[in-house]
Every structure is written in structure tokens, then in C-alpha cells.
Chain A
């Protein structure tokens, strides 16, 4: 789960990480209040969980509380990359000498946390990694040992900072590791971390991503879970399905994450476009299948529904009954194409046949039929 910048900065502040003075505002009037408390020129930053905010016009400056009101009201009535802005962060404007990159993430190959350190800050890490792969220093942490201070000395060199800042950098790195462990984070990123005109190190932007599997240990965060989802994603997650919205017109229901992705990919391969990812998981019952099918029959953009089930623990007769139930409740709003095989396959097919629903044995055949139907539909 991604935290908003202001939430990440509030956490960082608690751990002694230097961040600009300021706080979040949910209305233009609050923005005026914060701007006058901060004094002088301020920056007003739209709080959204999508990347590329700066380029999309989500960061503005204001030289007075009056201007802050104006800027904030414009941002608060806008959308950034399709997401409505409901809060802005109002902060002192920092005089920047250099922009640096600093993050702590998990290296999957090493199976360890790793600091990524670069003196080329301010650009997204994706671009940094592509354009200057040699400019990123990696410092690994053994999870059984934890952070130790020599890491700051290596980082100081990589960041090309003066020795006088070693104490500050040591506390900063130590805090990042504590934030990661104590909040079960998979990413703690300060980008840019800046060297100010008066020689201090300040985290001008902050990003924290918390491991979804750990949310139950953080009840204060768990209740926020799901807020980054689009409407349909939220409905699907509330029903307990793993769901991602895509932009095509063929609805997909399958069992298992890999098979669901393979179904989407095969749709593309045969010339169609998948509308979504919906994994009903292992051993889904008649009722679960019904809920999934009902959901996708009502999905506005998809014109065809493809159900692809490889029965193991999941039983084909339960799947068939669930499909029939869903059609009974919401009706045949769009063509439905079923591929299933495995446990209780014959019984499943018999049930579908009784209701004039064709079913396929081979995945490719079903996918082709769905693509064909989407062209007709």
C-alpha cells in the first residue's frame, strides 16, 4: 500500500528525518492558514498516489497566502492522471543547491534490503536506472545484522557530500531502516533528497510503500487499505477477488494469478484486448463464482466475458452452477464464453449445456471465440 507524501513525511519527521516545514490541507482556506504559518514563498503539492505528478502540473509555487488559496483551489478541483486531488501539501520553498536520490528497498535477488544512492536526484528511479545505471550505488543490509554506520560513509562518498554532514547522513540512513522495519515497508524513498543552499540535507519528497501482507500488524494503516483502487477494483476487492482494471473490452475471470495473466495475454495474441484481471482463487464455490460472474456481467466496458478455469481444487460443476446462478440474477447482458476442464468437468458441461451455454476444452479455442465475439458485439 502506497502512502501519500504527507503521510510519509509525517512518519519521517517522527524519526527525525529533516523535511520542509508545512502540512497537509484539504481546503483552500486550510492552505491559506498553513501558508501564513510557514511564511514566505511556499510550494503547494497535489497529494495523489500516481507517479509523474510534477510533469502533470501537480506542483505549484505561491509567494503569498492569497496566492496559495488560489493555487490550492485550482489543484483541489483538478485531476492528476485521472485521479481526483483531495488534498494538497503546503510547505516552505527550499533553496536547493543539489538534488540527490536516496531510497531503501528490497533486492529480490540478494533477498536483502538495499540502499540505492545516487547524486543524480530529482528524476524518477526508472529513468535514472535506464540513463545512468553506473551512477547508482547499492549498499546491502543483512536483515540479521541491521543497519551499521559504515554504510553512511559509503553513501556520503557516492553522494559527493562534505564530511561535515556524516553525522546527519548516518542518522538519516539509520532512520530509514527503522522506518522500513517498524512499518513493514517495501520502499522508503527520498527523491529528491536535497543539499540546501545553506548546506543542510532535507527530504523534499518522500514515498513509503507498506507490504500488503503486513497490514494486519498495522491497524492504523489497514483501515486505509484500498483507497488507491479505482471504483470497480474496489467493488471486486470487497468481494475478496484479486482484481486489476485494464482498458480492453473482453472481461476475464480465471483461477490462479498466472493463468489469469496468460488468459489476458492470449487475448492480446489473438487480436483482442482484455478488460480486466480477475482471479477467483483456488477452490472457489458456486457462490463465489456467481459473485464474480455477476460483477463482470455488469462491467461497463467489457462486451464479452471469458471464463477460463483449470479445475483442480476448483470444481467445474460448482463453476457451472455459479455461472447459471449469475445469469439468472442479472440476465445475459453480454455473451459469455466458458473454458473449463479438470475436476467434475463432465457434470459442469452438462449443466452449462442445459442452459444453452457452450463450453470449450482448449484455452486457445475459447480465447479465439471470445475475440471473435468481441468484434461482433
Chain B
């Protein structure tokens, strides 16, 4: 079970011959991800950890059969081109790991993909992982124990920290989705929560937000209006972040009066969502909801 990807998902790695691409291809294969091909322009005929490399997705599909999803490790300058190729080749899910893509390029390919019904995860994401089935990302797979908590987050290492805390208290994860750290991303909390609502393998959701933008507030208002829900525990990073400063992620900035911690926390709490003060509180709060 889980959302977006499972053990049958057939994957292509775009930018497979680069340092990052090759390194994580190995780790994803070790996790059990069904990687059927990779692309790297001009490198057709090569193999990376046994995975055949093609110049285009089109020829990969012709020779290897259908492909469902791609993961993009292409440098920022070439990443938009890689996303357009994946969308136009008929893939259903495109995970964009690349950090540093110009904002206006992102706006264009995200809008394009959404119109074509293609899911973009990221950009600037650790990726996604359905525990025990498929890892389409760069997260350390072993920290996620199998279970029924859906995890959706705007960050990377903080998500691993929280998954470890959950595991210590016996809570496992169904799927973890990294939304990405940029100001605009393909998916937001509402999209992913909706998928978790429909997933029989997910019992409750942990939402990991951060300062910047209003995705948490929008989720809170959406959640308030739902008649069927699964319990949510939230954690928001950046209580101590000053306004006008970018906190590492391009999207983590309080600007024009939008994106501060207190607005997020207040709106979530007004919708009946419990907000943890520290990552270590999350499991016990979750326990109180599920008991």
C-alpha cells in the first residue's frame, strides 16, 4: 500500500551517469526500486550498476517497455528540459531532486505538467518512498519502518529525524513524500493529504511544515471543511526564524507579511490539528489521537 509509488512502479533515472545520479541509483536499487533504465544524453550503450543508459526516454521505453515514473538528478540549468521530456514521454510521476532551478522555469514546467495531469514531486525534494516497496529519492531508507503513518514534509533531514522518533515509539510509515524546499512545488499538503485519505494503508498523517508561504494555513482551512478525515499531527520548523531572511530553502522566508510561524500554528490549531513543540513530542501526540 502507500501512495504514488509501489513495488510495481517502473522507474527511469534522468541524469544517471552523474555523480549523484549514479550514487543514488545504487541505493535505490538496493532498496528494491524497479529501475529499468537511465538517460544521459550521448551516453547510450553504457550501464550504471547494471542499468542500461539511453539518450532519450523515448528509446528507453521502446527497448525496455513502459515506464511510470522518473527521478531527475540533472543539474539546474538542464533540469527543466528533463522535466519536459518526462512529461511529454507520458510518464505519470516526475521526482525533481535538483536544487537551484530558476523560479520562473519552475513555474512554467509545473503549470505545464499539471495541465497534462502529470505529478511533479519537488523541485528541491529528498523524493518519496513507500516503505518496503519503492524509493524514488535520496533519503536513508532504513530510518523508515513499515507502518501506517503517512508522512508529508517540506524538508529532508528533519523528516528523517521525525521518522526515527516515530520508529522508537513503534510507529511505522506508509509513504513519505518530500514536497520540496522551493517557493513553488508540484504538490502541496492538500494534494498529498487527499492521497493519504484514499490510501487504505494510511491511518494518520504527520505534516512537517516550515516558515514561508501559506501552504500550512491553506491545508488547515481545507481540513476544517472535510467531513471525512484521518488524524493529523503537525510540526512547523522556524519559530525562531527572523522575517525577510531565507532559512536555507529558497521557500523558507517570511515576506510581505506571509509565512510566519505563529500564523501557521494558530491556523492549524484553530482547525483542531495538534502542533508539536519538538520533533520528539510527535509520537506521543500521535498515540493520544490513535488510542
Residues of A within 8 A of B (CB): 51, 105-106, 108-109, 111-113, 124-127, 129-130, 142-144, 180-181, 184, 186-187, 211-214, 217, 242, 244, 246, 254-262, 264-269, 274, 277, 279, 282, 310, 312-313, 341-343, 362-364
Contacts and interface: CB of A to CB of B under 8 A. Distances in A.
B76 interface: yes
Contacts of A254: 157
Contacts of B238: 261, 265
27 contacts: A51-B244, A106-B183, A109-B218, A111-B111, A111-B184, A112-B107, A112-B111, A125-B257, A126-B256, A129-B258, A211-B102, A212-B246, A213-B250, A244-B241, A258-B156, A261-B240, A261-B241, A261-B247, A266-B279, A310-B157, A310-B160, A312-B139, A312-B143, A343-B140, A362-B280, A363-B279, A364-B278
Interface in B84-130: 100-104, 107-108, 110-112, 114
B252 A261 contact: yes
Interface in B111-166: 111-112, 114, 138-140, 143, 153-161, 164
B188 interface: yes
B245 interface: yes
Given A266-B279, A310-B160, 18 more contacts: A125-B256, A129-B256, A213-B103, A246-B242, A256-B157, A257-B210, A258-B153, A258-B157, A258-B237, A258-B248, A258-B249, A261-B210, A261-B211, A269-B278, A313-B138, A343-B140, A363-B279, A363-B280
B214 A262 contact: no
A310 B102 contact: no
Contact of B239 (A51, A244, A268, A313): A268
A149 to B, nearest CB: 21
B52 interface: no
Closest 10 CB pairs of A and B: A258-B155, A257-B248, A256-B157, A126-B257, A258-B158, A261-B237, A214-B102, A312-B140, A259-B157, A211-B103
Contacts of B188: 109
Contacts of B239: 264-265, 268
Given A255-B157, A257-B248, A184 B102 contact: yes
A256 B112 CA distance: 30
Contacts of A112: 107, 111
Contacts of A265: 237-240, 278
Contact of A213 (B102, B111, B159, B214): B102
Given A144-B108, A213-B250, A264 B240 contact: yes
A258 B103 contact: no
Nearest to A2: B244
A11 B195 CA distance: 45
Interface of B: 76, 100-104, 107-108, 110-112, 114, 138-140, 143, 153-161, 164, 181-184, 188, 208, 210-211, 213-215, 218, 235, 237-242, 244-252, 255-258, 277-280
Contacts of A186: 103, 183
Contacts of B247: 242, 244, 257, 260-261, 277
A202 B103 CA distance: 29
For B101, B107, B159, B242, the residue with the greatest tally of chain A CB atoms inside 10 Å of its CB is B107
B215 A143 contact: no
Contacts of B155: 256-259
Nearest to B159: A258
B248 A217 contact: no
Contacts of A268: 239-240
A313 B27 CA distance: 11
A282 to B, nearest CB: 7
Contacts of A343: 140
For A125, A127, A277, A363, the residue with the greatest tally of chain B CB atoms inside 10 Å of its CB is A277
A266 B210 contact: no
B257 A257 contact: no
A257 B251 CA distance: 11
Contact of A142 (B111, B138, B184, B256): B111
Contacts of B210: 257-258, 261
A212 B140 contact: no
A51 B243 CA distance: 11
A181 B62 CA distance: 38
